[in-house]
């Protein structure tokens, strides 16, 4: 506890300092997913949100996408030949090595598309994963990445520009349809992402999924991984599978079989003609903050590691 408090004070006093180089990994003992910190009621997001860099451990995703952490994360360089990381003040351009490799690979494909210099990359994960101070419920294990819908025209944005520029929305009619900003290049990039075997699923607004269902020809198997979800019209969210042999990493159940187009169309139908509320539905349960007791026990070791 003393070490964690000390780190927090260092961050508050030296917030302007940035260390872009992840320390070299050290061997990490095998992690057991079962152990819990059952009596630790500290709010997890406060502790993980204060970590300025990844842990000096071997890379590993621990727990589930919305209840976990990551050891030995690496940082996506702020600028590369075909990408730029956005909103650098958030310090969320950290992930597992597989995720960083995937983002770089997809950005190289995007740069082959007319009008795209590469990718603007939004939130990935915090340096040690875990719950975020603001925003996402997932992105906790270093296997999630948000890709902006805005086609980059240049990749020399300053730090200030990256804080102030915004992506653009692709939706019309509350997400039932795509708007005039949607292009075949968006579909091509999403198809390339969904066709990658490292990818578990991609979240995008319902109208985009239906648009791709209506235009896709030939092999349509890649559509299975693209799933409609609320929001996701300024960016699309890529979620990777747990790396092979990653003990303690909890995969999400695979999507149902098929291309998922009928399901997406039902989302659109419900947007255009919302079903009446169910008078017998129970009120939603209040969302509780995740404590350290909510996370796998190994997350405490990640938090306390050098």
First to last CA, the chain: 14
Structure-block tokens of residue 159? 């730090």
Does the pLDDT at position 131 exceed 90? Answer: yes
Does the pLDDT at position 9 exceed 90? Answer: no
Mean pLDDT for the chain overall: 89
3-state SS, one letter per residue, for 114-138 = CCCCCEEECCCECCCCCCCCCCCCC
Predicted TM-score of the model (pTM): 0.86
Class for the domain spanning 2-8+32-274+293-304: alpha beta
Residue 185's pLDDT is what?
A: 98
Work out the pLDDT band at 280, boundaries 50, 70, 90: confident
Does the pLDDT at position 219 exceed 70? Answer: yes
Packed helices 206-215 and 261-272: angle between N→C axes, nearest 10 degrees? 130
Does the pLDDT at position 130 exceed 90? Answer: yes
Percent of the chain with pLDDT over 90: 80
Does the pLDDT at position 263 exceed 90? Answer: yes
pLDDT in tens, 60-103: 999 999 999 999 999 999 999 999 999 999 999 999 999 999 99
d(CA 41, CA 291): 5
Q: Where are the beta strands (DSSP E) in the chain?
A: 60-64, 67-71, 74-75, 79-80, 83-85, 94-95, 119-121, 144-148, 171-172, 177-178, 199-204, 226-228, 235-240
The 8-class DSSP code of residue 43 comes to B
Residue 152's pLDDT is what?
A: 98
d(CA 10, CA 126): 17
- Taking alpha carbons only, the member of 294, 245, 300, 292 closest to residue 59 is 245
């Amino acid at each position: 506890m003393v070490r964690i408090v000390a780190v927090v004070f260092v961050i508050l006093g030296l917030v302007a300092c940035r260390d872009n180089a992840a320390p070299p990994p050290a061997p990490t003992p095998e992690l057991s997913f079962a152990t819990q910190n059952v009596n630790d009621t500290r709010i997890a997001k406060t502790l993980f949100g204060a970590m300025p860099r990844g842990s000096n451990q071997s890379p590993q995703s621990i727990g589930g996408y919305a209840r976990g952490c990551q050891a030995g994360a690496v940082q996506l360089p702020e600028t590369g030949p075909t990408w730029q990381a956005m909103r650098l003040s958030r310090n969320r351009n950290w992930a597992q090595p597989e995720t960083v490799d995937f983002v770089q690979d997809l950005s190289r494909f995007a740069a082959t598309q007319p009008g795209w210099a590469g990718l603007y990359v939004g939130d990935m994960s915090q340096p040690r994963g875990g719950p975020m101070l603001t925003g996402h419920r997932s992105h906790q294990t270093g296997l999630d990445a948000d890709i902006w819908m805005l086609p980059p025209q240049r990749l020399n944005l300053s730090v200030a520009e990256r804080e102030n520029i915004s992506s653009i929305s692709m939706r019309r009619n509350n997400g039932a349809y795509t708007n005039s900003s949607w292009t075949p290049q968006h579909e091509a990039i999403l198809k390339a992402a969904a066709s990658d075997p490292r990818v578990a699923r991609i979240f995008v607004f319902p109208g985009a999924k239906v648009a791709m269902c209506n235009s896709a020809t030939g092999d349509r198997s890649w559509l299975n991984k693209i799933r409609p979800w609320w929001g996701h019209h300024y960016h699309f969210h890529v979620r990777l599978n747990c790396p092979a042999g990653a003990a303690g990493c909890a995969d999400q159940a695979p999507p149902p079989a098929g291309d998922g187009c009928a399901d997406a169309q039902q989302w659109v139908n419900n947007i255009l003609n919302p079903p009446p509320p169910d008078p017998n539905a129970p009120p939603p349960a209040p969302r509780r903050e995740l404590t350290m007791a909510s996370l796998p026990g190994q997350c405490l070791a990640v938090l306390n590691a050098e």
